[in-house]
Structure 1
């Protein structure tokens, strides 16, 4: 099927032609035949790299040409940024929404395509963003994540709410292979498109004893090294291909990259450039290991890296400069980074209370699907590494030949149901018990159950909790109302248990404790906690003994002590301890620090709103702590941080020169201020200080040539980082 024969805008067809896209792949053509341009709902469950994104883009461009508005939902912020770039520059207005969970973001309504995470979309629904009512085409990328334990319920409820609100809306679900696509298609009232076709042939096999065993064939691999994973890498490199190696842990990823660097020894100016970017972004020991590996053509990729370091690795790999990336499975589920050969070295994962367990088949398929770069590779290879001969047949049976698992709704979980039922009531989607039950009858969860008694029982239990916690009220006739507290918790995007814990704890405290507040936030269900290693136990025990009176939570548990460690990391950040020292002291990565900070910034903001309503005596202390977390500064820098353009680095420079307040800034030698801030920023900051204090700046007393001179540090004002919620765990 030719692109020129499709009802697409001429500008888009021209763009595709310039990219060499003139004809649809067979699965894409199936989508057109199934009603893609006739506003039919479709579930497209086809292999990675088979052109799902193009299907969505064509449908969105046609919808926009017909006057519609499109919402494209993704699971990860990094994927949102990637899709934003994909859709931009094609004669339509594209927006992106990933942060600020309690904002309506009405400005997004001016865009034709809005790319958003499922959590952000949920928060927009809770805050009643009017533009969502005008969405006429919904695309859900990675829709199989409805079955994901951590985010599946949110995705399911977002789809259900949008369908309820916009009954004429077209839905296109994009999915990897799953075991029960028919069930999901039925729930969506969608036509089902499945296919095994790929633009690049995928060969799946198991490596053992110098050969890759495929169905009915074998490939001999030279073995100059003693390690199988290195021999497979060198074999790929010898024929000009790139390699992705999936391992089970961050430590394993880093160790493999170090070993790979010693055998590749690939040198270039481009690699040095990526390494320099990484070294600048991450001064931790882990960052130094990564930079050194990249100089030799190898890299690792995991959530513990800061974003700038991950972006350098991704760019270097896409451009073909970096030969291999060793990664944890997060890379397979998100970014588009295909390679000639994919090695699944670790196909078991440790699970607490269970031990080592095989990874799901769907996860294996996600990894294997990264093999083969369209228009670059003649084929792709996905290779499992067997530890002995007996394992070869077993790996074929358990992964290569096994069907993907069925996905199931996650709305049966008690905490998820509480959260989403509160949102239904607080936002007016349901105002009676009967309406709540009626809404949930249309959920994917209800569609999977032969009997609904269990759902009714779970709904009753969740509503009872919300009534008892003061978040909703239920009248005798079954009417439901969100209380002020319940509406606030829902709009702040808090788990009801988090909101209740914050309110109850703050209300009973007589004095404020910054460390107690941090630990309290780290105890909530909405905060991830660092894993408590054996090496951490002495430190945590010591802190508990010496500072136990600062803590507000009294229930001793594994979560309690993990929260102590996490709070200590946050406190170190607020005390301006350098990142590399924090990483060394607590055994975490720079990306982990950033994740903690981002999560706590949101929770501190939410805690500030709850404090104002229920414990206003702590308003000032909570606000100060929020600013300290946001900027990573000691309390002594708060007066300077209050000036726009002054970040933690510049504030510390001023303070160390004895310039500690806006008043001191105005009283200081203007030349000294300019030497620290640069001319442009100094003028702006001095004007702010003058406005705060009612005094003059003294800036005009400088000679004309000095006032107009732009010094070496005269950079634009440091932007205040945008508050974000969903930056962690990517």
Structure 2
């Protein structure tokens, strides 16, 4: 049984399988929750193997802290579980060996040889660490540029890509999302007509699928670039657009992608040539590990005999680039102390809550098995690790998340503390969440889902929100009287939004008046004092809630993104983050009796946020390969349930559904059958569990008859 643990998906604790074993494919956060649930139910020894891909992410902020917590718990609590960590970009292997009590296997074999180059002006140099300055002359670029073309493409990207496309594939890494789109558009301007003829029919199908995925809308940039075999790939795309672009690139329909650095990690899209548009990600100079991840995309096993990367440099960056391409890999450090020790505080809380430790001495014993302990001299120079631990214990007591019994000095978790770690709620937000939910109970609005949506809008996305006040006010006026009253109750009155919208308009008017020499001070911005107590975090959170509320009402991501003037990628990220946070809040409320009304409400809301389609389409959306547009086609053609799909004839299905190939139809039917079997197996497991007599219970005639 292959089970997904990501976003709102996954059951805690996982379903017990009597006749089968499960393979859990999990995000970092869900893997941690999964391990916690197995510890809590004394089932951790059933976990045979933990595989951690991209192990260097241990050094990646808060997510690195979560990986370390997870692995430390497995090492401490289970003597049977094997851990395998994999990475191509690790420096300090010895520290990690000590932490994981591991053997080290290293191999530099590559199925396809990689050649690394840099381009400076119109000269290509090969990277060679044996050379004094790391660079050896390779060749001059042979491409005739007009003066106009030279201005538009001073880095000679067109020359570099046309050496390989469309016969071979190419990735161009760009420093920003906007730059991805601009570079793709710029290349198309100078491609010959023959590019339009290459796999023309398949590109027309791709454009039609992109239009279907956007409910009739296609990104103007993609509409222009796809006919030439080009596309961009970054977080501004919806998940369905990304899937279509990735499949088209893998099959050769698209020969070039302009992309951000995120494509280098975790997505298997190799290329004959990889071009790094700049040695920067946004304004930050590349790290050695980031560089190796990007150039590692070059070379397609079974297709090419060689792969090559080209880093485009400006003269000012030459010295830093020499260090970048020839220096050893960066060291990987524990992140439990990241962000003022948020990781170690969270770890201590969960250890006490799971009854892994109940005293300061046991906490010390556990922490001796962490990467932080191995590296404490570098990371805890100013104070000892044990002083840090005591500080964090005191902090948890102050937050009322743990208590200490006066007699035995035993550490115990409070109900709020249990809810916090079981819901995987950030410690800085747990008391705020408790307060918001408590206030919510006092006047929960149930004639629409706006209030619930506000309560599950993620706190960590508030900082990314900069409301357009005129749009805010326009959407506010569309709310019902009850919804406006609810908004005022959480601290966002209509009068405040109206004043801000008027101020935004007034600023434009004042600017015009200044330019015309007409401005008189003090006219529009008086009487702000009455709004000085307004919580701007609540205001921004309500704005995001309005985006989600609109999305749930009409489910058209494109039109909602356009209405709020946000990128569709941001709207989808907001949706998926809210779905995951809704699941966290659900687990949080399950641990606190006073929040019992939220359980049923949040269970249904999690489903709606996970798929963001009309209720009747949700069962179809669970099938692999079925997105919203396909679900609508299936539903309208009579395939309305999993049972209908599981019993469908793939040949008939592909003839019935427009643009559905036989192979895709077979995959959809197979996935539906698997889902149906999983649901049946899970129900059978529950029945068996109910009918099993506990081993410590004396057998009676009644229980014999029952079994």
**Does the aligned pair in 1 maintain the 2:419–2:589 contact within 8 Å?**
no
What is the aligned partner in structure 1 of residue 61 from structure 2?
149
What is the aligned partner in structure 1 of residue 549 from structure 2?
571
Distance of aligned partners of 1:524 and 1:221 in 2 relative to their CA distance in 1, 3 Å threshold:
same
What is the aligned partner in structure 1 of residue 124 from structure 2?
212
Once the two structures are superposed, the pairs formed by residues 449-464 of structure 1 within 5 Å of their partners are 449-450=376-377, 453-464=383-394
How many Å apart are 1:112 and its aligned residue?
6.4
Counterpart of 2:171 in 1: which secondary structure?
strand
Counterpart of 1:405 in 2: which secondary structure?
coil
Distance in 2 (CA, whole Å) between partners of 1:676 and 1:522 is: 30
- 5+ residue gaps, structure 2: 127-134, 493-531, 623-633, 645-654, 658-667, 679-707
After superposition, the C-alpha distances for 1:240-293 in whole angstroms (9 at most, x for unaligned) are 331111112222222222333444434312333333322222348664533542
What is the aligned partner in structure 2 of residue 120 from structure 1?
30
2:278 pairs with 346, 355, 371, which one? Answer: 346
**Does the aligned pair in 1 maintain the 2:620–2:641 contact within 8 Å?**
no
What is the aligned partner in structure 2 of residue 603 from structure 1?
581
Distance in 1 (CA, whole Å) between partners of 2:189 and 2:618 is: 49
**Does the aligned pair in 1 maintain the 2:619–2:642 contact within 8 Å?**
no
1:468 pairs with 398, 403, 413, which one? Answer: 398
What is the aligned partner in structure 1 of residue 143 from structure 2?
223
Distance in 1 (CA, whole Å) between partners of 2:284 and 2:620 is: 50
RMSD after superposition: 4.0
What is the aligned partner in structure 2 of residue 403 from structure 1?
328
1:493 pairs with 407, 419, 424, which one? Answer: 424
What is the aligned partner in structure 2 of residue 237 from structure 1?
165
Counterpart of 1:478 in 2: which secondary structure?
coil
Distance in 2 (CA, whole Å) between partners of 1:284 and 1:573 is: 17
Once the two structures are superposed, the pairs formed by residues 302-381 of structure 1 within 5 Å of their partners are 302-350=234-282, 356-381=283-308
Distance of aligned partners of 1:676 and 1:572 in 2 relative to their CA distance in 1, 3 Å threshold:
same
2:370 pairs with 432, 443, 454, which one? Answer: 443
Distance in 1 (CA, whole Å) between partners of 2:121 and 2:327 is: 24
After superposition, the C-alpha distances for 1:22-66 in whole angstroms (9 at most, x for unaligned) are xxxxxxxxxxxxxxxxxxxxxxxxxxxxxxxxxxxxxxxxxxxxx
Counterpart of 2:350 in 1: which secondary structure?
helix
Distance of aligned partners of 1:642 and 1:243 in 2 relative to their CA distance in 1, 3 Å threshold:
closer
Distance in 2 (CA, whole Å) between partners of 1:318 and 1:480 is: 54
**Does the aligned pair in 2 maintain the 1:126–1:490 contact within 8 Å?**
no
Distance in 1 (CA, whole Å) between partners of 2:325 and 2:182 is: 27
Distance of aligned partners of 1:604 and 1:95 in 2 relative to their CA distance in 1, 3 Å threshold:
closer
**Does the aligned pair in 1 maintain the 2:231–2:257 contact within 8 Å?**
yes
Residue 531 of structure 1 pairs with residue 464 of structure 2:
yes
After superposition, the C-alpha distances for 1:65-122 in whole angstroms (9 at most, x for unaligned) are xxxxxxxxxxxxxxxxxxxxxxxxxxxx755543535621234683365433332221
**Does the aligned pair in 2 maintain the 1:516–1:550 contact within 8 Å?**
no
| TM-score normalised by length of structure 2 | 0.70
How many Å apart are 1:626 and its aligned residue?
5.3
How many Å apart are 1:682 and its aligned residue?
10
Distance in 2 (CA, whole Å) between partners of 1:381 and 1:127 is: 45
Distance in 1 (CA, whole Å) between partners of 2:272 and 2:619 is: 48
- 5+ residue gaps, structure 1: 1-92, 351-355, 648-674, 686-710, 723-730
Distance in 2 (CA, whole Å) between partners of 1:676 and 1:117 is: 31
How many Å apart are 1:622 and its aligned residue?
5.9
Counterpart of 1:216 in 2: which secondary structure?
strand
Counterpart of 1:191 in 2: which secondary structure?
coil
Distance in 2 (CA, whole Å) between partners of 1:625 and 1:599 is: 13
After superposition, the C-alpha distances for 1:360-395 in whole angstroms (9 at most, x for unaligned) are 2211111011112223223222211123x444x325
After superposition, the C-alpha distances for 1:512-553 in whole angstroms (9 at most, x for unaligned) are 35555544543524xx347345x8365458879996625348
What is the aligned partner in structure 1 of residue 457 from structure 2?
522
What is the aligned partner in structure 2 of residue 37 from structure 1?
none
Counterpart of 2:554 in 1: which secondary structure?
coil
**Does the aligned pair in 2 maintain the 1:425–1:431 contact within 8 Å?**
yes
1:551 pairs with 463, 477, 490, which one? Answer: 490
Residue 248 of structure 1 pairs with residue 175 of structure 2:
yes
Distance of aligned partners of 1:360 and 1:444 in 2 relative to their CA distance in 1, 3 Å threshold:
same
Distance in 1 (CA, whole Å) between partners of 2:271 and 2:639 is: 47
What is the aligned partner in structure 2 of residue 173 from structure 1?
85
2:205 pairs with 266, 273, 287, which one? Answer: 273
What is the aligned partner in structure 2 of residue 663 from structure 1?
none
Distance in 2 (CA, whole Å) between partners of 1:161 and 1:113 is: 19
After superposition, the C-alpha distances for 1:654-686 in whole angstroms (9 at most, x for unaligned) are xxxxxxxxxxxxxxxxxxxxx99666759999x
What is the aligned partner in structure 1 of residue 409 from structure 2?
478
**Does the aligned pair in 1 maintain the 2:457–2:581 contact within 8 Å?**
no
**Does the aligned pair in 2 maintain the 1:102–1:493 contact within 8 Å?**
no
Aligned length: 562
How many Å apart are 1:152 and its aligned residue?
0.2
Distance in 2 (CA, whole Å) between partners of 1:95 and 1:630 is: 16
How many Å apart are 1:174 and its aligned residue?
0.9
How many Å apart are 1:125 and its aligned residue?
1.6
Counterpart of 2:547 in 1: which secondary structure?
helix
Distance of aligned partners of 1:181 and 1:676 in 2 relative to their CA distance in 1, 3 Å threshold:
closer
What is the aligned partner in structure 2 of residue 658 from structure 1?
none
Distance of aligned partners of 1:306 and 1:508 in 2 relative to their CA distance in 1, 3 Å threshold:
closer
